[in-house]
Amino acid sequence: MAAAGTGRTQPRQELMTQANNPGHGITLEAMLNALVAHYGWEELGRRIAIRCFLVDPNIKSSLTFLRRTPWAREKVETLYAKYARSQPKPTA
């Protein structure tokens, strides 16, 4: 099957992979807010040593930096995936 964006459906394996991806459908802002709520800025800065987390941190400036810096965004997404997997699953 063709790649996404061509109007065709995604391959079954890709859909299954996304179902197991804790970051699928979550915005970068939501990820960052969850990490800050869980770890706080100081611990987040220790885990991912980037200036926007260490010096006068705030959501707006951090998002601006992360959206322009793929390696930093990848680190945030990786930490979020670890965090999300460690959270208890909601019961229905």
Instruction: Provide the pLDDT for residue 88.
Output: 83
Instruction: Provide the pLDDT for residue 17.
Output: 46
Select from 3.40.720.10, 1.10.720.30, 3.90.79.10, 3.40.630.30 the CATH code of 26-86: 1.10.720.30
Instruction: Provide the pLDDT for residue 10.
Output: 53
Average the pLDDT over 11-27 and give the result.
Answer: 56
Which tens digit of pLDDT belongs to each residue from 39-92? 999 999 999 999 999 999 999 999 999 999 999 999 999 999 999 999 887 776
Which long-range CB contacts under 8 A does 36-42 form with residues at least 24 apart?
Answer: 38/83
Instruction: Provide the pLDDT for residue 79.
Output: 97
Which long-range CB contacts under 8 A does 4-10 form with residues at least 24 apart?
Answer: none
Q: What is the pTM of this model?
A: 0.71
- Closest Cα partner for 76 from 49, 55, 37, 42? 49
Q: Alpha helix locations (H) across 23-69? A: 28-47, 51-54, 59-68
Instruction: Provide the pLDDT for residue 15.
Output: 44
Q: Residue ranges per domain, the chain?
A: 26-86
